[in-house]
Amino acid sequence: MLEHASIIYKIKEELGQARRVLVVAHQHPDGDGLGALSALGLYLKAQSKEYRLFCVDQPGEAYNFLPLNHEITTNPEVFKDSFDAIIVVDSGDLKYAGIEQYLNKSNCGVLINIDHHVSNNQFGDVNLVLTGASSASEIVYQLFRAWQFPINKEVATALLNGIIFDTGVFSNSATTLSALETASHLLNLGARAGEINANTLRNKSLGMLKLWGRAFERLDFNQQYNWAFTVLTQADFAECGVAGEAGDGLTNFFNELAGVKVVLVLIELPDCLIKGSLRATSEDVDLSEIAKRWGSPKFGGAGGGGHKKAAGFTIAGRLLYNEGRWQIINN
Ligand SMILES: [Mn+2]
């Protein structure tokens, strides 16, 4: 614990000395990455720092309500500026963060890695990787408490958003006592849970549910491995008239399937890539290892990792239905 305490102090010291700070959330940003980024932005603003917020992909509209979300830039030109510190949140590595190619020694200052993924490769100059934390947002909460930074309603809402997202609304294995206690304190501080739920949960469009319908229809079961799986293609997204993020949340929903060890959802991305999402309820699998292996170049992969019970990977290829079954075609 002492070690964590000194890292927490070190981060405060680095940010205290910095004049210009960049905060980065990972590609295809989710509720946790964006919540943590938003809260850190509010902290830097309160310290009168010059700060920029970056994500290589545009956040989904559902997150427009998060404080400072409108300030996030997707333009890598921001890396032409120099920063005294760069904070990367919720990212196991710099590739997943989407900024590997933009960093160089002259522009990035001290690199601060705040994350909770077991697959984190400690890429920072300062690494605060707490794999027992429900979310990166919970870690940011711990920072603010240790730094005695007053958590107002805005900060509390951003942080609670991250915890609600990563715990699957307090239902998955990340729902620890600490996650619940943190959430309870954030509610006490005025976090707007109703606003979070209205924007990020009760926000599904007709097209999105039609898309999910296709995934339900194709749900299949491998008896040998006790795995359930389904697929969505680019054509599905086009025909339902929805963007890529409409598939978000689907894998978590399938994790409610009883009597199945692992759920796999394969979703075609543009540019001949396939994203795989894995979920497990049983204790005797380590999906982060599986995702790392399938996402490795040896298997034609383009990255993978995550947690023991929730992980993901990217591979090259397309999905094709042929002779009664779905196949991954590489060409
Ligand atoms: Mn997270």
pLDDT for the residue 90: 97
Distances (CA, A) of 127 to 12, 81, 207, 226, 251: 13, 23, 41, 37, 30
pLDDT for the residue 202: 87
Q: What separation in Å is there between the alpha carbon of 87 and the centre of ligand 1? A: 15
The predicted model gives 53-60 an average pLDDT of: 95
Question: What are 46's two structure tokens?
Answer: 């309160």
- Tens digit of pLDDT for each residue in 203-245? 889 999 999 999 999 999 999 989 999 999 999 999 999 998 8
Residue with token string 């999402």: 277
pLDDT for the residue 11: 98
Q: What separation in Å is there between the alpha carbon of 318 and the centre of ligand 1? A: 28
Return the amino acid letter for 207.
Answer: G
Q: In the Cβ-directed half-sphere of 327, how many Cα atoms lie within 13 Å?
A: 9
User: In percent, how much of the chain has pLDDT > 90?
Assistant: 80
Question: What are 56's two structure tokens?
Answer: 């290589």
Residue with token string 């999906």: 287
Q: How many residues does the chain have?
A: 331
Please name every residue paired with 276 in a beta bridge, in sequence order, or none if there are none: 266, 313
What DSSP designation does 296 have? S
Least confident interval from 58-62, 96-100, 107-111, 120-124? 107-111
Where in the sequence of the chain do the CATH 3.90.1640.10 domains occur? Answer: 2-200
Residue 159: which of 43, 4, 11, 9 has the closest Cα? 43
Q: CATH for 2-200, among 3.40.1350.10, 3.30.70.330, 3.90.1640.10, 3.60.15.10? A: 3.90.1640.10
pLDDT class of 3 with cuts at 50, 70, 90: confident
Q: In the Cβ-directed half-sphere of 159, how many Cα atoms lie within 13 Å?
A: 33
- Ligand 1 is an ion; residues with CB less than 5 A from it: 32, 90, 135-136, 166
- Tens digit of pLDDT for each residue in 110-157? 999 999 999 999 999 999 999 999 999 999 999 999 999 999 999 999
Q: At 264, is the secondary structure helix, strand, or coil?
A: strand
Where in the sequence of the chain do the CATH 3.10.310.30 domains occur? Answer: 206-329
Q: Which helix (H) or strand (E) holds 154?
A: helix 153-166
Measured over the CA atoms of residue 165, residue 139, residue 18 and residue 119, the dihedral's sign is negative
The predicted model gives 63-92 an average pLDDT of: 96
Residues 6+ apart with CB under 8 A from 308: 118, 173, 280, 285, 286, 287, 288
Q: What separation in Å is there between the alpha carbon of 197 and the centre of ligand 1? A: 18
Q: What separation in Å is there between the alpha carbon of 127 and the centre of ligand 1? A: 15
Q: What separation in Å is there between the alpha carbon of 33 and the centre of ligand 1? A: 6
The predicted model gives 87-99 an average pLDDT of: 95
Residue 163: which of 261, 32, 259 has the closest Cα? 32
Q: Going edge to edge, which strands form the sheet with 227-232?
A: 220-222, 227-232, 262-269, 273-280, 310-316, 301-306
Q: What separation in Å is there between the alpha carbon of 241 and the centre of ligand 1? A: 28
Q: What is the CA radius of gyration of the chain?
A: 20
Query: Inter-axis angle of helices 193-200 and 153-166, to 10 degrees?
Result: 50
Q: Are 242 and 207 in contact (CB under 8 A)?
A: yes
pLDDT for the residue 14: 98
Strands 85-89 and 110-115: parallel
Q: What separation in Å is there between the alpha carbon of 176 and the centre of ligand 1? A: 14
The predicted model gives 295-307 an average pLDDT of: 87
pLDDT for the residue 301: 86
Least confident interval from 5-19, 94-108, 169-183, 207-221? 94-108
Residues 6+ apart with CB under 8 A from 141: 39, 151, 159, 182, 185, 186
The answer on pLDDT for 331 being more than 80 is no
The predicted model gives 9-29 an average pLDDT of: 97
Q: What separation in Å is there between the alpha carbon of 151 and the centre of ligand 1? A: 20
Q: What separation in Å is there between the alpha carbon of 259 and the centre of ligand 1? A: 26
pLDDT for the residue 1: 44
CATH architecture of the domain covering 206-329:
Roll (3.10)
Q: What separation in Å is there between the alpha carbon of 179 and the centre of ligand 1? A: 12
- Tens digit of pLDDT for each residue in 171-184? 888 999 999 999 99
Q: At 34, is the secondary structure helix, strand, or coil?
A: helix
Work out the mean pLDDT of the chain and round it to a whole number: 94
| C-alpha–C-alpha distance, residues 75 and 205, integer Å | 28
Q: What separation in Å is there between the alpha carbon of 138 and the centre of ligand 1? A: 9
Residue 101: which of 76, 126, 124 has the closest Cα? 76
